Amino acid sequence: MAGGGAAGSALSSPWRALLQRALDGNAHLRHSTYFQLATVGAGGWPANRTVVFRGFQEHCDKIQINTDARSNKVCCQRNVCVLQICWYFTDSWEQFRISGIIDVIDGSSADPAKLQHREKAWFKSSVKSRLQYLGPQPGVPVVDDQQINDVHLDASAGPVDAFCLLVLDPEKVDYLNLKNNQRLVFTRIQKEDGSSDWMAEKVSP
């Protein structure tokens, strides 16, 4: 069966409606805005980490994630532009595995629209969250704790160089509901005219 409409408009994708319902139904749980992001690192080693959902990009189904441009996951994503996130909602017993193409947007982007999205994401983040991008490079040994504590930020200033916006453009969504034992796989299909639509298939859990 097919999902109605193109993926460009808000809530156009059938999986997006399911995800929004899960977000609303689990909103009282703080951890409902966290999901796991998996990549393949150097030498083919898998890498997994928990990240914060930063909302959907305006007027589309693309998922936003903030990260440090100096982190290992950005290195992975610049080499391999396909990744998967896994999102589990503990109250409704629903799991979403979303695979797609990642767009890494840092300060070097030549696209004004992308830079605007990055700036909006920066100012939507709390000051405490922004402060982490002024600290030492993630993963390096800490030789002086005071160096971390002495970081200061001008709250009105724009994004710092280390701030990076990741935008995931979904291509496939594997949805599992453990309460009713239902599993649906949504796949984005490109049409000849350049638009896209979503096909949904019910499969065995």
Name the superfamily (CATH) of residues 14-104+161-203: Electron Transport, Fmn-binding Protein; Chain A (2.30.110.10)
Mean pLDDT over the full length of the chain: 87
Q: Highest mean pLDDT: which of 17-31, 60-74, 143-157?
A: 17-31
What confidence tier does 98 reach under pLDDT thresholds 50, 70, 90? very high
pLDDT digits over 103-145, tens only?
999 999 999 999 999 999 999 999 989 988 988 887 778 776 6
- Listed in sequence order, the residues at least 6 apart from 121 whose beta carbon sits closer than 8 Å to its beta carbon are 54, 64, 66, 165
Which pair of structure tokens corresponds to residue 91?
């109250």
Global pTM?
Answer: 0.84
- The DSSP output letter for 10 is T
- What H or E segment, with its residue span, contains residue 187? strand 182-190
Name which of 180, 192, 179 is nearest 91 in CA terms.
Answer: 179
Judge whether 96 and 87 are in contact, CB under 8 Å. Answer: yes
pLDDT of 203 > 50? The answer is yes
The pLDDT of residue 82 is 84
Mean pLDDT of all residues in 27-43: 91
Domain borders along the chain are 14-104+161-203
